[in-house]
Chain A
Amino acid sequence: MKGLFFFIAFTLCAHGLDVASLHPLITDAVKQVGGERINVVEIVKPGANVHKFQPRGSDIKKMNRARIIFASGKKLEPYLADLKDNLSANQIIIEVGRTIPSQKVSKEDQIYTCCPNHAVGGIDPHWWHNVRNMERAIRVIEKELSRIDPAGKAIYAVNSKAARTRLTQLDRWVKGQVATIPRGRRHLVTAHAAFGYFCKGYGFKASFVQGLSAQGELSSSHLAGAIKQLRKEAIPMVFPEQTANPKVLQQIAKQTGAKVGNPLIADGSTPSYQAMIMANVESIVAGLK
Protein backbone atom coordinates (compact mmCIF):
# COMPACT_ATOMS: atom_id res chain seq x y z
CA MET A 1 0.00 0.00 0.00
CA LYS A 2 2.79 2.42 0.98
CA GLY A 3 4.62 1.61 -2.22
CA LEU A 4 1.50 2.30 -4.25
CA PHE A 5 1.09 5.69 -2.57
CA PHE A 6 4.66 6.71 -3.32
CA PHE A 7 4.30 5.46 -6.89
CA ILE A 8 1.22 7.65 -7.46
CA ALA A 9 2.78 10.65 -5.69
CA PHE A 10 5.94 10.23 -7.79
CA THR A 11 3.86 9.98 -10.97
CA LEU A 12 2.08 13.23 -10.08
CA CYS A 13 5.36 15.02 -9.41
CA ALA A 14 6.97 13.65 -12.54
CA HIS A 15 4.00 14.76 -14.62
CA GLY A 16 4.72 18.43 -13.94
CA LEU A 17 2.49 21.43 -13.46
CA ASP A 18 -0.36 21.69 -15.95
CA VAL A 19 -1.09 25.15 -17.31
CA ALA A 20 -3.07 26.47 -20.27
CA SER A 21 -2.54 29.48 -22.52
CA LEU A 22 -5.08 31.61 -24.37
CA HIS A 23 -2.60 33.40 -26.63
CA PRO A 24 0.16 31.96 -28.87
CA LEU A 25 2.75 34.54 -27.77
CA ILE A 26 1.96 33.86 -24.12
CA THR A 27 2.38 30.15 -24.81
CA ASP A 28 5.90 30.86 -26.03
CA ALA A 29 6.68 32.96 -22.94
CA VAL A 30 5.22 30.38 -20.52
CA LYS A 31 7.23 27.59 -22.15
CA GLN A 32 10.40 29.64 -21.82
CA VAL A 33 9.87 30.21 -18.09
CA GLY A 34 8.40 26.83 -17.19
CA GLY A 35 10.69 24.70 -19.33
CA GLU A 36 10.26 20.98 -18.84
CA ARG A 37 8.72 21.44 -15.40
CA ILE A 38 5.34 22.37 -16.86
CA ASN A 39 2.91 21.04 -19.44
CA VAL A 40 1.29 23.76 -21.53
CA VAL A 41 -2.07 23.22 -23.17
CA GLU A 42 -2.22 25.61 -26.09
CA ILE A 43 -5.85 26.68 -26.42
CA VAL A 44 -5.39 29.45 -29.02
CA LYS A 45 -2.89 28.38 -31.63
CA PRO A 46 -0.68 30.58 -33.86
CA GLY A 47 -2.67 32.10 -36.70
CA ALA A 48 -6.01 32.00 -34.89
CA ASN A 49 -7.83 35.32 -34.56
CA VAL A 50 -7.33 36.19 -30.90
CA HIS A 51 -9.87 39.01 -31.12
CA LYS A 52 -12.68 36.71 -32.21
CA PHE A 53 -11.81 33.59 -30.25
CA GLN A 54 -14.47 32.24 -27.89
CA PRO A 55 -13.75 29.10 -25.88
CA ARG A 56 -16.00 26.17 -26.71
CA GLY A 57 -16.89 23.25 -24.50
CA SER A 58 -14.02 21.24 -25.94
CA ASP A 59 -11.57 24.06 -25.07
CA ILE A 60 -12.83 24.20 -21.48
CA LYS A 61 -12.44 20.43 -21.30
CA LYS A 62 -8.83 20.76 -22.47
CA MET A 63 -8.21 23.24 -19.65
CA ASN A 64 -9.67 21.07 -16.90
CA ARG A 65 -6.29 19.80 -15.67
CA ALA A 66 -4.62 23.24 -15.76
CA ARG A 67 -3.92 24.93 -12.43
CA ILE A 68 -3.18 28.24 -14.15
CA ILE A 69 -4.78 29.61 -17.30
CA PHE A 70 -2.60 32.36 -18.76
CA ALA A 71 -4.36 35.10 -20.71
CA SER A 72 -2.98 38.22 -22.35
CA GLY A 73 -5.24 40.62 -20.46
CA LYS A 74 -6.04 44.29 -21.14
CA LYS A 75 -9.52 43.18 -22.24
CA LEU A 76 -8.27 41.20 -25.22
CA GLU A 77 -10.26 38.23 -23.90
CA PRO A 78 -13.73 39.59 -23.06
CA TYR A 79 -14.87 36.05 -22.25
CA LEU A 80 -12.67 35.65 -19.15
CA ALA A 81 -15.49 36.29 -16.66
CA ASP A 82 -17.62 33.57 -18.27
CA LEU A 83 -14.65 31.26 -18.47
CA LYS A 84 -13.98 31.72 -14.77
CA ASP A 85 -17.50 30.50 -14.01
CA ASN A 86 -16.66 27.26 -15.79
CA LEU A 87 -13.45 26.60 -13.89
CA SER A 88 -13.02 24.75 -10.63
CA ALA A 89 -12.13 26.52 -7.39
CA ASN A 90 -8.43 25.65 -7.57
CA GLN A 91 -7.95 26.93 -11.12
CA ILE A 92 -6.88 30.52 -11.64
CA ILE A 93 -6.71 32.90 -14.58
CA ILE A 94 -3.65 35.13 -14.79
CA GLU A 95 -3.75 38.15 -17.06
CA VAL A 96 -0.10 38.38 -18.01
CA GLY A 97 -0.33 41.96 -19.27
CA ARG A 98 -1.78 43.22 -16.01
CA THR A 99 1.34 45.01 -14.72
CA ILE A 100 2.13 46.70 -18.03
CA PRO A 101 1.23 50.39 -18.31
CA SER A 102 -1.78 50.69 -20.59
CA GLN A 103 -1.94 52.81 -23.69
CA LYS A 104 -5.34 54.14 -24.55
CA VAL A 105 -6.70 54.11 -28.07
CA SER A 106 -6.80 57.80 -28.94
CA LYS A 107 -8.04 59.67 -32.00
CA GLU A 108 -5.49 62.44 -31.37
CA ASP A 109 -2.62 59.97 -31.52
CA GLN A 110 -4.00 58.64 -34.78
CA ILE A 111 -4.49 55.36 -33.02
CA TYR A 112 -7.98 54.27 -33.74
CA THR A 113 -9.43 50.85 -33.33
CA CYS A 114 -8.60 47.31 -34.29
CA CYS A 115 -11.93 45.61 -33.74
CA PRO A 116 -15.31 46.36 -32.15
CA ASN A 117 -14.04 45.54 -28.67
CA HIS A 118 -11.24 48.09 -28.76
CA ALA A 119 -12.78 51.40 -29.79
CA VAL A 120 -11.41 54.89 -29.25
CA GLY A 121 -10.90 55.54 -25.54
CA GLY A 122 -10.43 51.89 -24.80
CA ILE A 123 -7.21 50.19 -23.82
CA ASP A 124 -5.00 49.02 -26.66
CA PRO A 125 -4.46 45.33 -25.89
CA HIS A 126 -1.39 44.78 -28.15
CA TRP A 127 1.18 45.38 -25.40
CA TRP A 128 3.58 42.70 -26.69
CA HIS A 129 4.85 44.87 -29.58
CA ASN A 130 7.18 46.66 -27.16
CA VAL A 131 9.83 44.12 -26.15
CA ARG A 132 10.26 45.76 -22.74
CA ASN A 133 6.65 44.88 -22.00
CA MET A 134 7.32 41.22 -22.70
CA GLU A 135 10.12 41.39 -20.10
CA ARG A 136 7.50 42.42 -17.54
CA ALA A 137 5.20 39.64 -18.71
CA ILE A 138 7.98 37.09 -18.17
CA ARG A 139 8.27 38.26 -14.54
CA VAL A 140 4.52 37.88 -14.01
CA ILE A 141 4.68 34.33 -15.36
CA GLU A 142 7.70 33.54 -13.16
CA LYS A 143 5.98 34.85 -10.04
CA GLU A 144 2.75 32.94 -10.68
CA LEU A 145 4.44 29.63 -11.51
CA SER A 146 6.59 29.99 -8.37
CA ARG A 147 3.56 30.74 -6.23
CA ILE A 148 1.66 27.66 -7.39
CA ASP A 149 4.72 25.42 -7.58
CA PRO A 150 7.16 26.71 -4.91
CA ALA A 151 9.42 23.66 -5.34
CA GLY A 152 10.22 24.88 -8.85
CA LYS A 153 10.96 28.47 -7.85
CA ALA A 154 14.71 28.27 -8.51
CA ILE A 155 14.17 26.74 -11.95
CA TYR A 156 11.60 29.36 -12.91
CA ALA A 157 13.92 32.14 -11.70
CA VAL A 158 16.84 30.88 -13.80
CA ASN A 159 14.66 30.40 -16.89
CA SER A 160 13.03 33.81 -16.38
CA LYS A 161 16.37 35.54 -16.11
CA ALA A 162 17.62 33.83 -19.27
CA ALA A 163 14.44 34.78 -21.13
CA ARG A 164 14.68 38.41 -19.96
CA THR A 165 18.32 38.55 -21.03
CA ARG A 166 17.32 37.36 -24.50
CA LEU A 167 14.59 40.00 -24.57
CA THR A 168 17.03 42.73 -23.53
CA GLN A 169 19.23 41.72 -26.46
CA LEU A 170 16.20 41.68 -28.76
CA ASP A 171 15.18 45.14 -27.57
CA ARG A 172 18.70 46.43 -28.31
CA TRP A 173 18.56 44.81 -31.75
CA VAL A 174 15.21 46.49 -32.48
CA LYS A 175 16.59 49.89 -31.43
CA GLY A 176 19.67 49.34 -33.56
CA GLN A 177 17.56 48.46 -36.59
CA VAL A 178 15.20 51.39 -36.07
CA ALA A 179 18.20 53.72 -35.82
CA THR A 180 18.98 52.93 -39.47
CA ILE A 181 15.70 54.60 -40.55
CA PRO A 182 16.05 58.38 -40.89
CA ARG A 183 14.05 60.09 -38.12
CA GLY A 184 11.73 61.86 -40.55
CA ARG A 185 10.72 58.56 -42.11
CA ARG A 186 9.75 56.84 -38.85
CA HIS A 187 6.05 56.88 -39.61
CA LEU A 188 4.26 53.54 -39.50
CA VAL A 189 1.09 53.25 -41.55
CA THR A 190 -0.88 50.07 -41.02
CA ALA A 191 -4.48 49.01 -41.40
CA HIS A 192 -5.50 48.26 -37.83
CA ALA A 193 -4.39 49.88 -34.60
CA ALA A 194 -2.24 47.02 -33.43
CA PHE A 195 1.15 48.73 -33.29
CA GLY A 196 0.62 51.58 -30.83
CA TYR A 197 2.97 50.12 -28.22
CA PHE A 198 5.61 49.53 -30.88
CA CYS A 199 5.32 53.10 -32.17
CA LYS A 200 5.49 54.66 -28.72
CA GLY A 201 8.31 52.39 -27.55
CA TYR A 202 10.51 52.84 -30.60
CA GLY A 203 9.77 56.41 -31.61
CA PHE A 204 7.44 56.09 -34.60
CA LYS A 205 4.58 58.31 -35.57
CA ALA A 206 1.56 56.07 -36.00
CA SER A 207 -1.24 56.09 -38.55
CA PHE A 208 -3.69 53.27 -38.33
CA VAL A 209 -6.03 54.12 -41.14
CA GLN A 210 -8.61 51.39 -40.92
CA GLY A 211 -11.27 50.91 -38.32
CA LEU A 212 -12.09 54.42 -37.11
CA SER A 213 -15.69 53.45 -36.51
CA ALA A 214 -16.65 51.02 -33.76
CA GLN A 215 -17.69 48.53 -36.45
CA GLY A 216 -14.20 48.50 -37.88
CA GLU A 217 -15.34 50.02 -41.17
CA LEU A 218 -13.74 52.98 -42.84
CA SER A 219 -15.83 56.01 -43.73
CA SER A 220 -15.20 57.59 -47.14
CA SER A 221 -14.47 60.98 -45.54
CA HIS A 222 -11.86 59.44 -43.25
CA LEU A 223 -10.35 57.56 -46.17
CA ALA A 224 -10.06 60.79 -48.18
CA GLY A 225 -8.47 62.52 -45.18
CA ALA A 226 -6.00 59.69 -44.70
CA ILE A 227 -5.01 59.75 -48.38
CA LYS A 228 -4.49 63.53 -48.25
CA GLN A 229 -2.34 63.27 -45.15
CA LEU A 230 -0.23 60.41 -46.45
CA ARG A 231 0.34 62.22 -49.78
CA LYS A 232 1.42 65.33 -47.89
CA GLU A 233 3.92 63.34 -45.83
CA ALA A 234 5.11 61.37 -48.87
CA ILE A 235 4.81 58.08 -47.01
CA PRO A 236 6.94 55.57 -48.93
CA MET A 237 5.27 52.41 -47.71
CA VAL A 238 2.14 51.16 -45.98
CA PHE A 239 2.00 47.83 -44.19
CA PRO A 240 -0.81 45.29 -44.30
CA GLU A 241 -1.27 42.67 -41.60
CA GLN A 242 -1.11 38.93 -42.05
CA THR A 243 -4.59 38.29 -40.72
CA ALA A 244 -6.34 41.43 -42.04
CA ASN A 245 -7.92 42.28 -45.37
CA PRO A 246 -5.32 44.30 -47.35
CA LYS A 247 -7.82 45.89 -49.78
CA VAL A 248 -8.13 49.30 -48.11
CA LEU A 249 -4.37 49.67 -47.78
CA GLN A 250 -3.91 48.69 -51.41
CA GLN A 251 -6.42 51.37 -52.36
CA ILE A 252 -4.61 53.95 -50.23
CA ALA A 253 -1.25 52.92 -51.69
CA LYS A 254 -2.60 53.28 -55.21
CA GLN A 255 -3.85 56.80 -54.56
CA THR A 256 -0.86 58.05 -52.58
CA GLY A 257 1.93 56.48 -54.59
CA ALA A 258 3.11 54.49 -51.56
CA LYS A 259 4.16 50.89 -51.93
CA VAL A 260 2.59 48.04 -49.99
CA GLY A 261 5.15 46.43 -47.69
CA ASN A 262 5.45 42.92 -46.33
CA PRO A 263 2.53 41.99 -44.08
CA LEU A 264 3.21 42.59 -40.39
CA ILE A 265 2.27 40.12 -37.68
CA ALA A 266 -0.07 41.74 -35.19
CA ASP A 267 -1.40 39.01 -32.94
CA GLY A 268 1.09 36.20 -32.97
CA SER A 269 0.65 34.10 -36.06
CA THR A 270 4.11 32.65 -35.40
CA PRO A 271 4.84 30.35 -32.48
CA SER A 272 7.93 32.38 -31.55
CA TYR A 273 7.78 35.87 -30.06
CA GLN A 274 11.32 36.66 -31.17
CA ALA A 275 10.56 35.54 -34.74
CA MET A 276 7.50 37.81 -34.81
CA ILE A 277 9.38 40.88 -33.61
CA MET A 278 12.30 40.26 -35.95
CA ALA A 279 10.04 39.68 -38.96
CA ASN A 280 8.08 42.87 -38.26
CA VAL A 281 11.15 45.03 -37.70
CA GLU A 282 12.90 43.68 -40.80
CA SER A 283 9.81 44.46 -42.88
CA ILE A 284 9.49 47.97 -41.44
CA VAL A 285 13.18 48.78 -41.86
CA ALA A 286 13.24 47.43 -45.42
CA GLY A 287 10.23 49.57 -46.30
CA LEU A 288 11.15 52.85 -44.66
CA LYS A 289 14.96 53.02 -44.77
Chain B
Amino acid sequence: MTRSPLTATLLTLAPLAALGWPLAKVINHEPYQQAKVEEDSSGPLLQADLEIKAAHPFKTLEVSAADTTWTFTADEDIKTISFPKDLDIIFTVTATWPEGTPESAILLTLKPDGRPDRNHTLWGFLELTEEIKFTWDR
Protein backbone atom coordinates (compact mmCIF):
# COMPACT_ATOMS: atom_id res chain seq x y z
CA MET B 1 0.00 0.00 0.00
CA THR B 2 1.39 3.40 -0.95
CA ARG B 3 0.54 6.73 0.72
CA SER B 4 -0.23 9.93 -1.14
CA PRO B 5 2.65 12.53 -1.11
CA LEU B 6 0.52 14.81 1.12
CA THR B 7 -0.09 12.05 3.69
CA ALA B 8 3.57 11.06 3.65
CA THR B 9 4.65 14.67 4.21
CA LEU B 10 2.17 15.17 7.04
CA LEU B 11 3.29 11.94 8.71
CA THR B 12 6.91 13.12 8.51
CA LEU B 13 6.13 16.58 9.87
CA ALA B 14 3.85 15.44 12.72
CA PRO B 15 6.68 14.16 15.03
CA LEU B 16 8.70 17.30 14.30
CA ALA B 17 5.74 19.51 15.25
CA ALA B 18 5.19 17.45 18.41
CA LEU B 19 8.84 18.01 19.33
CA GLY B 20 8.91 21.65 18.28
CA TRP B 21 5.88 22.78 20.29
CA PRO B 22 7.29 22.15 23.79
CA LEU B 23 10.71 23.38 22.67
CA ALA B 24 9.21 26.61 21.39
CA LYS B 25 7.60 27.11 24.80
CA VAL B 26 10.97 26.61 26.46
CA ILE B 27 12.79 29.01 24.13
CA ASN B 28 10.22 31.78 23.70
CA HIS B 29 9.80 33.47 27.04
CA GLU B 30 7.57 36.49 27.41
CA PRO B 31 9.28 39.70 26.26
CA TYR B 32 10.82 41.46 29.21
CA GLN B 33 10.28 45.16 29.80
CA GLN B 34 13.31 47.01 31.11
CA ALA B 35 12.76 48.57 34.51
CA LYS B 36 12.47 52.31 34.27
CA VAL B 37 15.01 54.59 35.88
CA GLU B 38 14.13 57.40 38.18
CA GLU B 39 15.05 60.02 35.59
CA ASP B 40 12.35 58.96 33.18
CA SER B 41 9.90 57.23 35.50
CA SER B 42 6.79 58.95 36.71
CA GLY B 43 5.84 56.19 39.18
CA PRO B 44 5.61 56.98 42.89
CA LEU B 45 8.24 54.47 44.02
CA LEU B 46 12.00 54.43 43.77
CA GLN B 47 14.01 51.21 43.71
CA ALA B 48 17.17 50.90 45.73
CA ASP B 49 19.70 48.37 46.94
CA LEU B 50 19.86 48.29 50.72
CA GLU B 51 23.12 46.72 51.85
CA ILE B 52 24.45 45.93 55.30
CA LYS B 53 27.96 45.11 56.45
CA ALA B 54 28.41 43.85 60.00
CA ALA B 55 31.67 43.90 61.96
CA HIS B 56 30.63 40.79 63.94
CA PRO B 57 28.11 38.01 63.25
CA PHE B 58 24.69 39.18 64.44
CA LYS B 59 21.76 37.18 65.81
CA THR B 60 18.98 39.25 64.23
CA LEU B 61 18.94 42.32 62.02
CA GLU B 62 15.83 44.09 60.78
CA VAL B 63 15.48 47.34 58.90
CA SER B 64 12.05 49.01 58.68
CA ALA B 65 10.67 51.99 56.82
CA ALA B 66 7.01 53.03 57.10
CA ASP B 67 5.13 49.70 57.41
CA THR B 68 7.69 47.47 55.67
CA THR B 69 10.39 45.43 57.39
CA TRP B 70 13.36 43.77 55.72
CA THR B 71 15.10 40.96 57.60
CA PHE B 72 18.77 40.37 56.90
CA THR B 73 20.76 37.21 57.51
CA ALA B 74 24.44 36.38 57.29
CA ASP B 75 23.84 35.01 53.78
CA GLU B 76 21.55 37.78 52.60
CA ASP B 77 23.27 41.09 53.14
CA ILE B 78 21.70 43.02 50.25
CA LYS B 79 18.07 43.55 49.30
CA THR B 80 16.29 45.44 46.58
CA ILE B 81 13.66 47.66 48.15
CA SER B 82 11.12 50.22 46.94
CA PHE B 83 10.21 53.41 48.76
CA PRO B 84 8.35 56.64 47.98
CA LYS B 85 10.25 59.15 45.88
CA ASP B 86 10.51 61.68 48.68
CA LEU B 87 13.74 63.50 49.28
CA ASP B 88 14.17 61.78 52.61
CA ILE B 89 13.56 58.37 54.12
CA ILE B 90 13.69 57.22 57.74
CA PHE B 91 14.84 53.70 58.59
CA THR B 92 14.54 51.99 61.95
CA VAL B 93 17.33 49.49 62.48
CA THR B 94 17.01 46.76 65.11
CA ALA B 95 19.82 44.30 65.74
CA THR B 96 20.90 41.80 68.36
CA TRP B 97 24.22 40.02 68.79
CA PRO B 98 25.07 36.74 70.57
CA GLU B 99 26.40 36.84 74.13
CA GLY B 100 30.10 37.54 74.25
CA THR B 101 30.13 39.88 71.24
CA PRO B 102 31.97 43.13 71.96
CA GLU B 103 30.54 46.52 71.01
CA SER B 104 29.99 46.20 67.30
CA ALA B 105 29.18 48.20 64.18
CA ILE B 106 26.81 47.83 61.25
CA LEU B 107 27.28 49.82 58.06
CA LEU B 108 23.99 50.46 56.27
CA THR B 109 24.26 51.63 52.65
CA LEU B 110 21.36 52.70 50.46
CA LYS B 111 21.92 52.89 46.68
CA PRO B 112 18.79 54.29 45.04
CA ASP B 113 18.37 54.28 41.25
CA GLY B 114 19.64 57.57 39.86
CA ARG B 115 20.56 59.02 43.24
CA PRO B 116 23.85 59.11 45.15
CA ASP B 117 24.57 56.46 47.80
CA ARG B 118 23.82 57.21 51.41
CA ASN B 119 25.37 55.31 54.30
CA HIS B 120 25.50 55.34 58.05
CA THR B 121 27.39 53.33 60.65
CA LEU B 122 25.46 52.20 63.72
CA TRP B 123 27.10 51.04 66.93
CA GLY B 124 25.56 48.71 69.53
CA PHE B 125 26.44 46.40 72.40
CA LEU B 126 24.45 43.14 72.24
CA GLU B 127 21.37 45.03 71.02
CA LEU B 128 20.58 48.11 69.04
CA THR B 129 17.52 50.09 68.00
CA GLU B 130 18.17 53.30 66.15
CA GLU B 131 16.47 55.59 63.66
CA ILE B 132 18.42 57.03 60.76
CA LYS B 133 17.39 59.49 58.13
CA PHE B 134 18.80 59.72 54.61
CA THR B 135 18.17 62.86 52.58
CA TRP B 136 18.91 64.10 49.07
CA ASP B 137 18.97 67.59 47.59
CA ARG B 138 16.38 68.44 45.01
Contacts and interface: CB of A to CB of B under 8 A. Distances in A.
Nearest to B27: A12
B22 A5 contact: yes
Interface stretch (B82-90, B98-106, B114-122): B114-122
B114 A101 contact: yes
Interface stretch (A89-97, A181-189, A206-214, A249-257): A89-97
A147 interface: yes
A231 interface: no
A139 interface: yes
Contacts of B22: 5
A132 B19 CA distance: 48
Interface range for B = 20 to 34
A101 B31 CA distance: 27
B80 A98 contact: no
Interface in A135-156: 136, 139, 143, 147-148
B33 to A, nearest CB: 8
B7 interface: no
A132 B117 contact: yes
Contacts of B80: 143
A14 interface: no
A9 B19 CA distance: 10
B32 A136 contact: no
A243 interface: no
B116 to A, nearest CB: 5
A94 B28 contact: no
B39 A94 contact: no
A12 B33 CA distance: 24
A90 B47 CA distance: 24
A274 interface: no
B111 A99 contact: yes
B30 to A, nearest CB: 8
A1 B29 contact: no
B8 interface: no
Nearest to B31: A89
A78 B15 CA distance: 46
B37 A98 contact: yes
A102 B39 contact: yes
Contacts of B115: 101
Interface in A1-27: 1, 4-5, 8-9, 12
B6 interface: no
Contacts of A132: 117
Interface string A44-80: 0000000000000000000000010000000000000
B76 to A, nearest CB: 9
Contacts of B66: none
Contacts of B117: 132
B113 to A, nearest CB: 4
The 5 closest A-B pairs by CB, nearest first: A99-B113, A98-B37, A89-B31, A101-B116, A92-B32
16 contacts: A5-B23, A9-B23, A12-B23, A12-B27, A89-B31, A90-B28, A92-B31, A92-B34, A93-B34, A98-B35, A99-B47, A101-B114, A101-B116, A132-B117, A139-B78, A143-B80
Given A12-B27, A101-B116, 8 more contacts: A5-B22, A8-B19, A8-B23, A12-B23, A67-B29, A98-B34, A99-B114, A136-B49
